[in-house]
Every structure is written in structure tokens, then in C-alpha cells.
Amino acid sequence: MYPSNDPKLRSFIPVDPDSHFPIQNLPFGVFRPKAGGPPRIGTAIGDLVLDLALLEKKRFFKNFFLLPDLLIFSRPNLSNFMALSRPVWIDIRSQISRLLSGADPTLRDDSRLRGQAFYKQSEVDMLLPVEVLDYTDFYSSKEHATNVGAMFRGRENALMPNWLHLPVAYHGRTSSIVVSGTEIRRPCGQTKKDDAPDPTFGPSRMLDFELEMGFFIAKENPLGWPVPVNEAQYHIFGMVLVNDWSARDIQRWEYQPLGPFLGKNFATSISPWVVTLEALDPFRTSGPVQDPSPLPYLQNSGDRSYDIQLEVWLQGQSMPEPHRISRTNYKYLYWDMFQQVAHHTINGCNLRLGDLIASGTISGADPSSYGSLLELAWQGTKPIQLPNGETRVALLDGDRLTLTGWCQGDGYRVGFGEVTGTIVPAG
């Protein structure tokens, strides 16, 4: 097996040290050339996209499938590839790495083939990578849950009694999951001011972002059969950035007693490149100490989390360039993704191929590391300052939000690119 995670490995394609897509990454995504043609699957290397569908048709992938004419990469989503076994994912990633390193010189030395197989990322449109069947959004950041609880219940009652014992979550809607770059239309709904006798209807005035990460399920579990926490990683294909947009004023009025509905289901944005757990393995790290100790089915030893640096950038209509408003890290999450899978299935719930499971808002202990405007502006009492003199307590029409994240290696980064969305007025 080719050593695809070797930190010293380099591609014959020049890659800037700050690029999110060195040869150590090789994420999978779905693209369509702007010049025309059907969607197909590729991988990112530097500022290029490598057409895996073309390589597949030219029989580059040896021992890939039992059926040699089964074209997996000539598809509009990753689902068929994800349905294959983990050894196949690892083998294909290794073969791509071998080609791009030049250890197998076929691609490097064939200029005509390179001209057909590579596209500039600016020359393609990135599409939703997976046909998402179900969507679950967790609430796994202790700092975020404490902040929100303190705002609405007071610091002494910030965490609900169950929070330190189980990963809290709710089920979202898949039809409004969109790929990065999709405009976000300001939602309308019922809201009610504290001093008003009745609710009113109109556009949300407290539109917010939520900095999250998500992962896709590839290996299903039968109905009635939980996934043990120490086996959860074998059910996960890879991770993406997630912005779970939130209309705070709509949510505040409607959530009693059942929870998020119209305040959440109008849009959830994800990044287009799915970074595999194999690419993230060198960056595994221990998560926060869990006290009290979880029940046995949630106890997970070893490095449970990943050192992924995360940032949020905001650019208003009158701003010449974006401004960073938050910086945090995935490793701060109290409940890790393997515990999330174990808890999700402990009652026998069956996860399906293509399910998206999100982390919930990721916040750190420092105010500069909060993962939402609700926290950064502390429920509107501390407006954040922007370089052009403007302030924000909520998103305005024309605001462009960008979330980005990466793992920092020695002279290279394994990153997720970005997920962006621009707010447009209510219809």
C-alpha cells in the first residue's frame, strides 16, 4: 500500500504550503465542468481537480471492482463509491496518491492525458457531494450549550440535567441542505417581542450562522442493532464543513415545547469536498475530559477527536474584503463523533448510507472562539465591531459568510476548503 499519509510526500502538481489540498488530503467531491458535460467525481490537488471518472474509464484503478464495467466515478454523487468497503476507499486513495506523486509516472509523463484529466477549480462548478437521506444535528459543544443556557436560564442553570450524560440532538430536514455558494434567502415566519400581546409575521430580523462540522455515514446498521462506540469509525466515510443557518427570533417563539422547526429548516450549507477519515488520521487528538464519566455504551478510549482549526469570516456589502470574526477548533467538542453514532443507534435506530450527522455549534472558552453571532454579540448586548465601522448583532442582507477549516501538518495543510453563503432579501 502506497504511504499516502507520509508528511514528506509531494505531488508533481505544484501545491502551495497553505493550500488545503496537498497530496496528503485527496478529498472526494462531485463537479461539472463549466464548459459542459455531465457531473462526475473528482479529487482536489492544489488548485486543480483531477477527473477520477476519466481515469476510471481508462482502467487506471486496478483491482477496484468485482465488476470491471461498473463505473462508480461517472456518477452525480458519491453514494455508490461510499457503499464500497473501507479497504476499497483506502486502496483507491493510495492509487491516486501513487499517480500524483509520480511513483507511477503514467499520468505525470503523458501531457495529453494530463490535459484531459485536470481542470482548474475555477473552471468547474462543485455540486452537492452526497444524496443526503437523513440529517441529524447534535448539540455537542459544552461551551456553546453553557453560553446559550446562561442567556436564557441564568448561569446557575445553564446546562440542562441531561447534557453531561448524553449527546443531545434533533432531526433536521434534508431537502434544504445546499452546497457552498448557494444564496440564502432570508426566511419569514412568526415572531413575538417580549412586550407584544401577539405574534407578527415577517422576515427574520435575527438571522445567524452556526459553525459546525458534519460527517457522512457509509456503512449501515440493521434496524434494532446499535453501533458500538469503538466500531463507529468504520461507519463513517468522511467530514465536511457545515453552516446550519438559524433564525433566532423565529426559533425563540416556536421552539416551545418541541424544538427547532422553521427557525432551522430553511437552509443548511455544506462544503463540497469530503475529507476522508484516513486523511485526518494523523491529526487525531484527545478530546475534553468527560466528567462525570459517561455510561459504558458511550465510553471511548484513545484519541477521540481531531485537531481541526476553524474560522469564520464575514464580508458586508460595503466591505472591500472579509473580516475574521471567530477562530476555534473542532477538538473542543465535548461529545465526539463516535459517541454521537453510538448514542444515535443505541435504541436500535438504523443509520443509512448518505446520512449527514452534524456536530452542533462549535465554540471555545474564549469569546473570540464562539461559533455563532448569538454568542459573539451576546444576544445583541455586545455588537461585534467590523473594520469599516459597522457593527453586527445579526446578519444583514448582502452579508457573505465563509467558514473554513484545516489540520496543520509540518509544511502542509489538510483542509476542507470553505463553505460560503450570501444573504439575499426575503421573497
Q: Is 65 helix (H, G, I), strand (E, B) or coil?
A: coil
Q: What is d(CA 33, CA 58) in angstroms, rounded to the nearest whole number?
A: 19
Closest CA to 167 of 301, 344, 329, 291: 344
With beta carbons less than 8 A apart as the criterion, state whether 136 and 170 touch. yes
**Pairing, β 184-185 against β 413-424:** parallel
> Do residues 97 and 60 lie in contact, with contact meaning Cβ atoms separated by under 8 Å?
no
3-state class (DSSP) for residue 427: coil
CB 218 within 8 A of CB 353: yes
Separation of alpha carbons 91 and 103, rounded Å: 15
CA dihedral 209, 249, 267, 392 (to 10 degrees): -30
CA distances (Å), origin 64, targets 27, 256, 295 = 18, 51, 41
| Helix ranges, 102-183 (H) | 111-117, 142-153
Hey, what's the cell of 425?
Answer: 432579501
Counting Cα atoms < 13 Å in the Cβ hemisphere of 258 gives 7
Residue ranges with strand state E in 133-196: 135-138, 169-171, 177-179, 184-185, 188-191
The answer to whether 279 and 25 have CB atoms below 8 angstroms apart is yes
Tell which residue, 82, 74, 188, 87, has the closest CA to residue 132.
82
Q: Is 29 exposed, middle or buried (CB count within 10 Å of its CB: 0-12, 13-18, 19+)?
A: buried
> DSSP alpha helices (H): ranges in 83-141?
86-101, 111-117
| Catalytic site positions | 144
CA distances in angstroms from 249 to 165, 253, 268, 377, listed in the order given: 29, 7, 17, 15
